[in-house]
Amino acid sequence: MTTRLLIKGGVAVDTDPVTVAPADVLVEDGRIAAVWPDLPEPEGAEVIDARGMLVLPGFVDTHRHTWQAGIRAIGPDIAFSGYLERVLGRLAPAYRPEDVYAGNLAGALECLDAGITTLVDWSHIQFTPDHTAAAVEALRRSGIRAVFGYCHPQGGDPEALAAQGRRVHAEHFGTAGGTVTMAIAPLGPEIVSEEEALHEWRLARDLDLPVTVHMGYDTERADRGLDFLERNGLLAPSTSYVHGNHYSDDALKRIAASGGAVSVSPVVEVELGLGYPITGRAVAAGAPAGLGADTVVSGPGDMFSLMRAAYALERARPNMGFTTRDALRTATIDGARTAGLGDVAGSLGVGRHADLVLLRTDLLGIAPAHDAVGAVVLSADTRSVDTVIVGGRIVKRDGRLLHHVVEDVLAPLAESAARLAAV
């Protein structure tokens, strides 16, 4: 039996290409079936009144350490060295599986509440199989579309670590389908030895999984790491290069030519001192560039903040020509491409999964929305997020999450946060 959802009376903001026009959106069995003005109401369809709202693809966060939701703002002015020492060196080892679960669930719901329907969870908290199980289960329970970026702990026998990765894939992702999929999140050749890095990429190839890797954020090692990938035939599609602040324009063109993409965390990169974000340079080089919150330890977790930061930083460059439409694409269709889901999410294209967000324009601070795209990028905030849909399933409506009691999510997060803050 076909299930139908009709979103009626809104202004559709598509992204591939960017267009704005009054239109209804028909969803059938979780996919976009039609986008057109004044669509007839199918028999048995659920109807959402979108008058006064902007209807656009859900936002895509291409890089977030979701488990860190319980230590939000614990290091607001921290430098990268301090992050490594305090967060990864002291706090991470204190995490129990229940802390990972609380953080991942709250972090994923935070995303949905803010209109982020797709999340790349770069998860480097895999201390035990129970830690991994907690992270994956929390993502599934949240209802978000997620790519679980599996990063094994540093050190140990490469073959044994690869065996753990295969176990995780078989145990948690052995059946096709569902909104949570897996990627390999290698430590990469700028952190571990070339031998270890080769094992990480071979695991991704053996399992036919995409790769999301921190690379290019160190001046001395950026070119060397990219050369290593090229020498070994690993400069390839389905690879997302996270940060990349110190890649030259030529290096970005090499990434683009290989079919790779770039994930930029505009706030955290500046705040941690990683270098000037490369959003506009990546776009100019022809590489899809998506945005990521990275860590709420020292940055915001909503896409409105990230779009504004990326836009402002690019407009500060001479003659870059970066526009609000470019910013919106980084948060939607180019984010989806960066996440390896360009044919699934990120636009209102017919046939794509119905991952949608409805934004109110009748609020102080966004009304009147003369230019819809400008309003989304420069004026909207989380208050504007009225309705959120993932794969045709409504997860937020009338400004409220539907399938979770927020207080029940925050209580274990608060207990976990208090314990971790005392470490």
CA–CA distance, 352 with 62 (Å, rounded to integer): 18
Of 347, 351, 277, 288, the residue nearest 314 (C-alpha)? 277
For residue 18, the tally of other CB atoms under 10 A from its CB is 19
CATH code (residue 311):
3.20.20.140
pLDDT tens string 339-381 = 999 999 999 999 999 999 999 999 999 999 999 999 999 999 9
230 and 360 co-located in one domain: no
| Per-residue pLDDT, 84 | 95
User: Distance of CA 284 to CAs 103, 307, 318, 410, Å?
Assistant: 36, 17, 14, 42
DSSP state of 353: B
94 and 215 co-located in one domain: yes
Q: Is residue 120 part of a domain?
A: yes
Instruction: Work out whether strand 46-49 and strand 4-8 pair parallel, antiparallel, or are unpaired.
Output: parallel
pLDDT tens string 220-249 = 889 999 999 999 999 999 999 999 999 999
Q: Is residue 411 part of a domain?
A: no
Q: Is residue 418 part of a domain?
A: no
257 and 330 co-located in one domain: yes
128 and 263 co-located in one domain: yes
274 and 184 co-located in one domain: yes
329 and 213 co-located in one domain: yes
- Rg of the chain in Å (alpha carbons): 21
Checking if the pLDDT of 153 tops 90, the result is no
Higher pLDDT, 308 or 174: 308
Quick one: 221 exposed, middle or buried, by C-beta within 10 A (0-12, 13-18, 19+)? Answer: middle
210 and 302 co-located in one domain: yes
| Per-residue pLDDT, 140 | 97
3-class SS shares of the chain: helix, strand, coil, % to 5: 40, 25, 35
CA–CA distance, 164 with 181 (Å, rounded to integer): 17
Q: Is residue 195 part of a domain?
A: yes
63 and 44 co-located in one domain: no
149 and 274 co-located in one domain: yes
pLDDT tens string 107-129 = 999 999 999 999 999 999 999 99
Q: Is residue 412 part of a domain?
A: no
Structural domain for 154, as ranges: 59-338
DSSP state of 379: I
Residue 154 pLDDT grade (very low, low, confident, very high; cuts 50, 70, 90): confident
Average pLDDT rounded to a whole number, residues 159-178? 90
CA–CA distance, 192 with 183 (Å, rounded to integer): 19
68 and 193 co-located in one domain: yes
Residue 13 corresponds to which tokens in the numbers above? 């903001």
Average pLDDT rounded to a whole number, residues 82-102? 97
Amino acid found at 216: G
40 and 160 co-located in one domain: no
- The whole-chain average pLDDT of the chain stands at 96
Instruction: Work out whether strand 24-28 and strand 4-8 pair parallel, antiparallel, or are unpaired.
Output: antiparallel
CA–CA distance, 392 with 26 (Å, rounded to integer): 10
pLDDT tens string 266-288 = 999 999 999 999 999 999 999 99
Q: Is residue 406 part of a domain?
A: no
CA–CA distance, 182 with 146 (Å, rounded to integer): 8
Residue 153 corresponds to which tokens in the numbers above? 């702990």
Checking if the pLDDT of 146 tops 90, the result is yes
How many distinct structural domains can be found in the chain? 2
173 and 296 co-located in one domain: yes
Residue 219 pLDDT grade (very low, low, confident, very high; cuts 50, 70, 90): confident
pLDDT tens string 39-90 = 999 999 999 999 999 999 999 999 999 999 999 999 999 999 999 999 999 9
Non-local (6+) Cβ contacts of 404 within 8 A are 109, 142
Q: Is residue 85 part of a domain?
A: yes
